[in-house]
Structure 1
Amino acid sequence: MKPQTAHIISHTHWDREWYLPYEKHHVRLIKLVDELLDRLDEDGEFKSFYLDGQTIILEDYLQVRPENQERLQKHITDGRLLIGPWYILQDAFLTSGEANVRNMQIGHQDSKRYGEPSKIGYFPDTFGLVGQTPQLMKQSGINNAFFGRGVKPTGFNNTVSDGGYESSFSELIWEGPDGSKVLGILFANWYSNGNEVPVNEAEAKEFWEKKLADARKFASTGELLFMNGCDHQPAQLDLPEAIETAKRLYPDMEFIHSNFPDYLKAVEDVMDHNNLSTVKGELRSQHTDGWGTLVNTASARVYLKQMNQEGQVLLEKVAEPLASFAHVLGKDYPHHLFTYAWKTLMQNHPHDSICGCSVDEVHREMVTRFDKSRHVAETIVDDSKRMIAEAVDTSGFAAYGEEVLPLVVMNMSGWSRTGTVSVEIDAARLYLREGFTLEETASRMKDIDLNGRELVDDQGNTITCQMEDLGLQFGYDLPDDKFRQPYMCRRVRLTFEAVQVPALGLRAYACVRRANTGLPIAPESLLQGDRVLENEAIKVVIHDNGSFTMSDKASGITYRDLGVYENTGDIGNEYMYKQPEAVQALTTEELQANISVLENTPYRASVEIKHDWEIPASADDKLDEEQRALVYYPERKAQRSNDTVILKLRTVISLERGGKGLHLETTIDNKAKDHRIRALFPTDLNTATHHVDSMFEVAERNIEPASEWMNPSNTQHQQAFVDISNDKAGLTVANFGLNEYEVLRDGRNTIAITLLRSVGELGDWGLFPTPEAQCLGEHVVRMELIPHTGDGITAGAYAEAYQFQIPWVVCQTDVHGGVIAPLYTPFDWESQELAFSSLKMNEQTGDLLLRWYNMSQQSTDLTIRSTIPQQYFYKTSILEEESHPLSSEEKGSSVLQIGPCEIVTIGIRR
């Protein structure tokens, strides 16, 4: 009989920032790698070390120690330092699907500068895992996933309990919604179960008796895994000596200084797959008591989530497709800038960073990184849109005379789009190089006549438009071939409805002067008095307390009591929410609101709703006592303070003429601490499940938690939206950077969206005050309510929710000829079930890559056409390797079948 084998893997789990600021962890990393390299240089007894699955460790180290690059290279080449496959270890639920793809792509690219990435699906401390992870691993050439959370109970200071496992063993089969399967390895005794192995025989005997028993309790084979390391753990350099001690103590066992590839091979050689449990879909610790899921990191420091969503959307949904479009027109695709921008953004994606569960210094630095990444993306967008606009044929507008101001509206979403667009353009511009005095320059611009102007589309139709004079403005150009060119201008803001702008395409308009205006009769107002908004799809009635009723004309369903706000105390921490015991939630249901009309145009109506809400100022003094005593948050007894402050809420609800949903923008002036604010949207739809946007998936979740669940709160993660629907009707609530929701078990299936959560400590294993996590000051949040018939896919509600994330792009240009028609898209695709995800260019091949994912659990056909000169289409993986051409019935088109929940990437060879 083969003896049992103890596979001891040296590693360190490296949170770049957490309970210490980044640079303090950074200094510790330099010391760790210095000592590790010295030990590896000495001899071959210290076999190998796993660099935590993230290549950014190499960047961080070489930033300070560039002279050691050859030493690193040698040990990576020799297989003693295992690197990749990721760039960073990201949070799963708070980062987009495309961000995870870029993370894997860049991790592989960086690894290949040294050798090959380790094909290990490494998620040691990720706070739950999305259902599409197995498919993403398989498309990356990875057949496994190592993880520590999601299928077992984890408590204070990462202690784990023996019960509540969804798998019979630490080895399991993990199956994604598309049917992809990987071998899952659960760190059942955590990723530190082999940490600090004693060399002394007496200490080693005590150590191994416990550790071997713990591992045998869960392992399905005699191949036992021991992780020699932990958070920021220095390498145990005398591990070879400790292993020799273990061999003497247990001659019937084999102890080896192992690595993940060798461990996996050993397990696969002896494992009986028929004995393993199959766990399907998301790993969210639902079969636990609910107190240790860390789910409320989704609402810690909401401002970070909003900045992250802005950064992700700007890169993947705006800058990359625009740069791809511009490249087709002859502009270089800025791969280097995209890599830099993505890396800078992803440095905010580790769980302790994007989750908002670190000390204040960490999150201050994150804001700077968000800004840096966004500034690069904005520069790419500006350069690309100008290139595109210059290629659009606007010569047709010359018929309106010399004072023509063309502009191009670009829709970078994956669906045709109608909506309100607002853009600032220069009605006239005078460069300072012309030699006039500043006074004369300013005077000439002030004298510009703005009367008699109107907006026309590419067909000459007059478009209802609001023009706002922004007055005299200073600006400058930065030409590629000369010094900066300052100017003064007369700037105006145009607001209008852009109609049926094609997916990934554009439409040209022009602000012109016409003496005999052909203005059409303005459509009826969308407002009835100051309380009713109505278009062809929905009708909204606002009540005295600021709540509203919304009627969906297609389904005949009316949703009532929408938009009530809820406030509760929060005596938890950055990780988890805890409402004080026996304290009722406050709501605005009985609070009088101040309601007034803000906007009334033919294309959009907006109503402002204001609340002055008296709420407790903070928790009482007992919370501070309990925090100092490290009382585990579910056991705290603190209450809310008797002192009060005024919470000011300003809500603007807007309805567009062609809109499918109602837009909400809420401004919160937060002066309170230790509390949570949510918006409530009762659906009154009878259903046991709901749907929610996750990474490359519309996941279905139960409304009632599992029987093991004890936490009164059942909040969950979302990305773009949450939806409750039955066979006849549904309500989708889209959000922008509001990643936490709950479907209340209140008899009404109310969707509760967390808008703000204020807490004062990090939590977890000690006391780390975080006063900035109270999020005092002004915050602005945005949502859209989208009623629909049937399911959200076929009704188009999910596509609308995805478009809600993506800004319009508008560029002013001049009158000129061009190779692009004034109404144009380079791509046309058809499939009701698919969601468009990205358009980018591959650096190695120069091919264009388009990605979709199937929102449904049924197969569907994708038809794609392109007017771009090409050789052929091909299907590839998320790593974008070249593949064989797809069959095509006609030039420039292809049809292929997409499997249920499949993520599909199509390459265009040009």
Structure 2
Amino acid sequence: MSTRQKKTALVVAHTHWDREWRYPIWKTRSLLLEFMDWLIDILENDPEYESFLMDGQTVCLDDYLEIRPENRDRIAALVKAGKLAVGPWYTLPDLFPIAGECLVRNLQTGIRFAEELGGYNPIAYHTFGWGQTAQFPQIYRDIGIEHAVAAKKVSEERAPNCEFMWTAPDGSELLTSRLGHFTRQNGYFYLHFPVRLNNIYDNNVYSWDWGKTGVAYHRADEENFQNDYFRVDHEDGYFKENVKDAAQRTWDNMDKTLIDDWRLLMCGCDFSTPNPYLPKMVADCNEALPDIEFRMSSLQEYFAGVDERIDRSTVPVVHGELRDGEPCGASANALATRIHIKQLNKKVENSLMRRTEPLAAGLSLLGETYPQRFLQKGWNYLLKSHPHDSINGVTQDKTVDDNMYRLNQALEISETIYEDMLASLLKRLDLSAFGQTDTLLLLHNPQPRPVREVIKMGVDTPRSESVWTLGIADADGSPLAIQEITRDEHKQPVHDIEARPWPYYVDRHQLYLDTGEIPAGGYKVVKVVNQETYWREEEWWPSMRKHTGGFIGQGATQLENEFLKVEVNTDGTFNLTDKQNGRVIENMHHFEDEGDTGDYWAYYAPYRNQIITNRGFGSRIWMEDNGPLSATIGIETVMKVPAHAEYGNVKVQGFGKRSERLVDLKIVSRITLNKDSKHVKVKTSIDNTAKDHRVRLMIPTDIKTDFSDAAGHFTVDRRGIVHDKDENGEFFPEMALRPMSVFCDANDGANGLAVLNNCLTEFQLLEDDRGTLALTLLRAIRNRICTESRVSSEFPEALGSQMLQTVDYEYAIYPHAGNWDEGKVYAEADKLNSKPAVTQISMNRGGELPTVASHYAIDNESLVLSSVKKAEDREGMVLRLFNPTDEIQEGKVSIGLPVSRAWKLNLIEKRGEELSIEDGSVSLSLEKGKIATIEVE
């Protein structure tokens, strides 16, 4: 506790600027131009205007300079002078729907952009993001940031004081402030509103008075009359008589601080302007409250004063993620809003980070040109799709369309670069051991461990060869098992940069292939072998297929391999037997539909809800693609569900009931079991025709446990079956809906069951007698945007948020022994998210690269690979991996490329100590929860 006589209130001017939210991108950009032009003028001409915080991001400046490039030098001068605080982020992402690696790249991009302008704000001003990831203290400390403002979302139960030591799984600590009531807006609502507007924000009388409050316009034509009104003049009111009470109330707002003489007052809000009266307000506060010195300041000065005054040993410690209730305050259920955005994002992440970058980085060490600018363009599209409102789609439909466009551009760029890298590799392969007309396949494995998979593929053979059945052999001639599906005829164009496209007449064979072992982080070339030809003109009795037996499918309802057995029941569920221990889980995999009268951010069940299960409807069941490598059972169920919710005229969330009118909700699942697979793959399609509802997938585990585990950002998050209870034993059920990335898991230490996925974001471990994992597939909700707590922007005719479309999902069910680490769940999830890729190639002579190679490998399955890329400013290759377990993990990173030196890096790729490298391998020892980044050269 300080003994200083004079108290100090540090007033920080700022804004929270969503790149797109209430309004689409270009309307928001127009507002940004007005805002930035005004801000630059104030900062350049008012010496008393100390500084302005640009919301912890830099994309606003990027957007502004795209239209006003002539002002770049002016902005740089303000940044260098400390008048404009920018970064360290590029955009303000929501966290849980995106990969942890994307958070690192976002920081890298933001810091680089800010440094080009003169430097970045070294405070983790992180009041965005709907919940905060557990690893942020480690991430920030790794790049040299030691303080954070993290107002979303830590409760007073965990952090009774404003200041707390936020601690990551590895033990890294960050001195953090959650501010006071109204958090990042504490000075804006308590000081700005009374003094500038003669209004008390929280007394419920804040409203527009037509013709008196200001000058405004409103589009009234048929296409636009539902849009907002816009004020065009600037507020010129100033009510000095309100200063004393407002200043005192603002000061008192942070009365739970551990420092009684040093407080931070944040004067800004969503889309707030720079307020040219702020220096006058500060001077009037000093006059009104002479025992407190009010002055305009910065986050850096505030935390410097905190460090000077506080005894860190007395500061409460808060461990792990910040995601405390209540649900609407944490925007807890936006995870499943407009799920198709998150699905496409995960597809882009898997393409760009798990396949394209690793191949390009490996080839760059072999002398190929790394497509840096091309990749940066893809990353730019991806990062601009991650702002919290954009990735969650809590916006107008047009903004969702824009974000889907950005994601699709990122995907196309990634896939194009990947194909370019395959072409570069092909031109350098030594294929002289093969014949000139041989059909070859290049199998690429981006996983950091050898893999053997059954993959579905299509192979073309020249029509002139009339191939009826084919085989595939490794380079040494040993056959690889295949399972034929179809054969038909096609004409395919062959692009030629020096000619018109060539027509290629082919027989196309669809089949399953047992790849054999593909090296870790590498590739191998295999050969297509023509086994039997046919007489093309013959219409009757072509050669019949032969089989070796051992089909995985039996009848129409059963699948079985060495490890698992699936028996489909008449109601569409199935029984799953883990043959390794005899454990049987019955009546697995069903769906529940219930009402959702909530909003984008939080799930509310209607007052008169109906929960409907598909088990009450008949299912159509069939077998397809049956053979010794793979078999699939299809299950179709048509549920009768209420068409919509009935609200009357009441806007309150949760009000209403489900309608009496019913519509068909068709759900088709395809259950696939492959040879030697330890998990069951499922592809589910929902044809959604209903509004105002939620669909969840139910996976009983028959495991008694009080917690769940789920893959998070560089960690596995363990959470209780219910959220934190208060002193009365009460909790918010909606907070038990938990985030996940590539898996969620329930285990009792002896046995476990994981659901692996590449397209889901939200799950719940139910407090029922079967330990059911409930996975949210979709939320269909009204198109209402919460612009302010008393008013919404409403678009009842815009139905994008109702998800009236077909949505596809891919996931897998994986029973295992032990906990998630002992069961190698992360490695199993990689098989779904980092699949081997196959490319048909033709003969090439004159290359020097072998037909089988490993570019990188990690020998410990408990260590997880996050990234393989080229260094930003050097020619080396960067690998990032992490230890999500609670134990020290020893591991060896092996590089099958010409490298001789290695370094430890921080997350923004600054070199630290040089590491020993022997025979192309770097040995690492990672403590629990640790992230490690290395560079090899």
Instruction: Report SS of the residue matched to 1:901.
Output: coil
Asked if 1:67 corresponds to 2:70, the answer is yes
Which residue does 2:250 correspond to in 1?
211
2:287 corresponding residue in structure 1: 248
Matches within 5 A, 1:800-879: 800-816=828-844, 818-879=847-908
Distance 1:76 1:290, change over 3 A: closer
The answer (yes or no) to whether the contact 2:449–2:859 under 8 Å persists in 1 is: no
Alignment-derived partner of residue 715 in structure 1: 737
Quick one: distance in 2 between partners of 1:253 and 1:727?
57
Match of 2:357 among 305, 320, 334: 320
Aligned counterpart, 1:569 = 595
Of residues 328-337 and 576-585 in structure 1, the stretch that sits farther from structure 2 once superposed is 576-585
**Does 2:193 match 1:177?**
no
Taking a change above 3 Å as real, the CA distance of residues 484 and 885 of structure 1, as seen in their structure-2 partners, is farther
Residue identity opposite 1:451 in structure 2: W
Contact 2:104 2:907 in 1 (8 A): yes
Residues 555 and 788 in structure 1, CA contact (< 8 A), matched pair in contact too: no
In 2, Cα distance between the equivalents of 1:78 and 1:637? Answer: 53
Q: Name the CA distance, whole Å, in 1 between partners of 2:71 and 2:749.
A: 63
Q: Is the 1:617–1:673 Cα contact (8 Å) retained in structure 2? A: yes
Which amino acid in the other structure matches residue 627 of structure 2?
T
Q: 2:455 aligns with which of 400, 406, 421?
A: 421
* Structure 1 residue ranges, 4+ long, deviating more than 6 angstroms after superposition: none
2-structure distance, mates of 1:45, 1:569:
55
Partner AA of 1:405 in structure 2: T
Q: 2:665 aligns with which of 639, 647, 651?
A: 647
Structure 2 counterpart of 1:626, which letter?
Answer: V
SS of the equivalent of 1:130 reads coil
Partner of 1:502: 519
Q: Which residue of 2 aligns with 1:454?
A: 471
Tell me the secondary structure at the aligned position of residue 307 of structure 1.
Answer: helix
What is the CA-CA distance between 1:801 and the residue it aligns to? 1.1
* Matched pairs, number: 864
Change (3 A) 1:126 1:562: same
Q: Is the 8 A contact 1:327 1:333 kept in 2?
A: yes
In structure 1, C-alpha distance between the alignment counterparts of 2:936 and 2:488, rounded to whole Å: 44
**Any idea what SS the aligned residue of 2:386 has?**
coil
Within the candidate set 186, 199, 211, 1:193 is matched to 186
SS of the residue 1:812 aligns to: strand
DSSP 3-state at the match of 2:251: helix
* 1:232 maps to which of 258, 271, 284: 271
Distance in 1 (CA, whole Å) between partners of 2:666 and 2:556 is 21
1:682 paired with 2:700, answer yes
- Pick from 20, 25, 29: which aligns with 1:26? 29
Q: Is the 8 A contact 2:286 2:292 kept in 1?
A: yes
Tell me the alpha carbon deviations over residues 695-739 of structure 1, each in whole angstroms, 9 at most, x when there is no partner. Answer: 111111111332235433321111111001122211000122210
Residue pair 1:849, 1:905 contacting (<8 A) in 2 also: yes
Cα deviation, residue 867, structure 1? 2.6
Once the two structures are superposed, the pairs formed by residues 422-821 of structure 1 within 5 Å of their partners are: 422-428=456-462, 449-465=466-482, 466=484, 468-477=486-495, 479=497, 482=498, 485-490=501-506, 492-495=508-511, 496-514=513-531, 522-622=548-648, 625-627=649-651, 631=652, 633=653, 636-708=654-726, 709-713=730-734, 714-764=736-786, 765=788, 766-767=791-792, 768-769=794-795, 771-816=799-844, 818-821=847-850
Secondary structure at the counterpart of residue 492 of structure 1: strand
Are 1:51 and 2:43 an aligned pair? no
Q: Given that residues 462 and 520 in structure 1 are in contact (C-alpha distance below 8 angstroms), is that contact kept between their aligned partners in structure 2?
A: no
1:448 Cα deviation after fit: 5.2
Per-residue deviation, 1:81: 0.9
Partner of 1:438: none
Q: What code does the residue aligned with 1:215 have?
A: M
SS at match of 1:397: coil
Q: Deviations over 1:552-582 (max 9, x none)?
A: 1223211111111111011111111111235
- The answer (yes or no) to whether the contact 2:883–2:927 under 8 Å persists in 1 is yes
The equivalent residue for 1:149 is 152
Match of 2:922 in 1: 894
The corresponding residue for 2:231 is none
Of 899, 905, 909 in structure 1, the residue corresponding to residue 933 of structure 2 is 905
CA distance in 2, matches of 1:484, 1:299: 47
Which residue identity lines up with residue 444 of structure 2 in the other structure? M
Q: CA deviation at 1:212?
A: 1.1
Structure 1 position 12, deviation (Å): 0.7
Whether the 8 Å CA contact 2:441–2:840 is kept in 1: the answer is yes
Shift of 1:585: 1.3
SS at match of 1:905: strand
Segment of structure 1 superposing worse, 803-812 or 734-743 = 803-812
Q: What is the rounded CA distance, in whole Å, between the counterparts of 2:364 and 2:809 in structure 1?
A: 35
Q: Closer, same or farther in 2 for the Cα pair 1:276/1:745, shift >3 Å?
A: same
Aligned match of 2:342: 305
Alpha-carbon offset, residue 760 of structure 1:
1.1
Aligned partner letter, 1:561: N
The letter for the 1-side match of 2:749 is D
Distance 2:680 2:490 in 1: 35
Cα pair distance change 1:896/1:712, threshold 3 Å: closer
TM-score by length of 2: 0.89
Letter in 2 for 1:711: F
Structure 1 regions of 5+ residues with no counterpart?
153-163, 429-444
What fraction of aligned residue pairs are identical, expressed as a percent? 28
Q: Secondary structure at the match of 1:166?
A: coil
Taking a change above 3 Å as real, the CA distance of residues 4 and 484 of structure 1, as seen in their structure-2 partners, is farther
Residue 463 of structure 1: CA displacement? 2.5
Query: What SS is found at the alignment partner of 1:46?
Result: coil
Residue 720 of structure 2 aligns to which amino acid in structure 1? N
SS, match of residue 18 in structure 1: coil
Q: Residue 130 of structure 2: SS of its match in structure 1?
A: coil
1:315-363 residue CA offsets vs partner (Å, 9 max, x unmatched): 1111100111221232211111221111111111111111221121211
| In 2, Cα distance between equivalents of 1:827 and 1:213 | 57
Q: For 1:194, what is the secondary structure of its paired residue?
A: helix
Judge which range, 757-766 or 728-737, deviates more. Answer: 757-766
Alignment-mate amino acid for residue 441 of structure 2: L
**What SS does the aligned partner of 2:98 have?**
coil
Q: Compared with structure 1, are the counterparts of its residues 470 and 191 closer, same or farther at alpha carbon in structure 2 (3 Å cutoff)?
A: farther
For residue 213 of structure 1, what is the amino acid of its counterpart? D
Deviation (angstroms), 1:478: 5.6
Q: Which runs of 5+ in 2 are unaligned?
A: 196-237, 534-542
CA distance in 1, matches of 2:9, 2:499: 67
Note if contact 2:365-2:877 (Cα within 8 Å) is conserved in structure 1: no
Question: Residues of 2 paired with 1:470 and 1:670: CA distance?
Answer: 33
In the alignment, what sits opposite 1:431?
none
**Structure 2 CA distance for partners of 1:549 and 1:380, relative to 1, 3 Å:** same
Would you say 1:111 and 2:114 are equivalent positions? yes
For the residue of structure 2 that corresponds to 1:102, the secondary structure is helix
> How far off is 1:658 after superposition?
2.1
Determine if the alignment matches structure 1 residue 273 to structure 2 residue 312. yes
The alignment partner of 1:396 has SS state of: coil
The CA deviation at 1:865 is 2.0
Check the 8 A contact 1:14/1:231 in 2, yes or no.
yes
Contact 1:852 1:903 in 2 (8 A): yes
Structure 1 pair 493/341, CA: closer, same or farther in 2 (3 Å)? farther
| Partners of 1:357 and 1:140 in 2: CA distance | 32
State the match for 2:232 in structure 1: none
Q: Distance in 1 between matches of 2:380 and 2:177?
A: 28
Which residue of the partner structure matches residue 433 of structure 1?
Answer: none
1:621-645 Cα deviation digits (max 9, x unpaired): 43xx222xxx2x2xx3311000000
SS in 1 for 2:625: strand
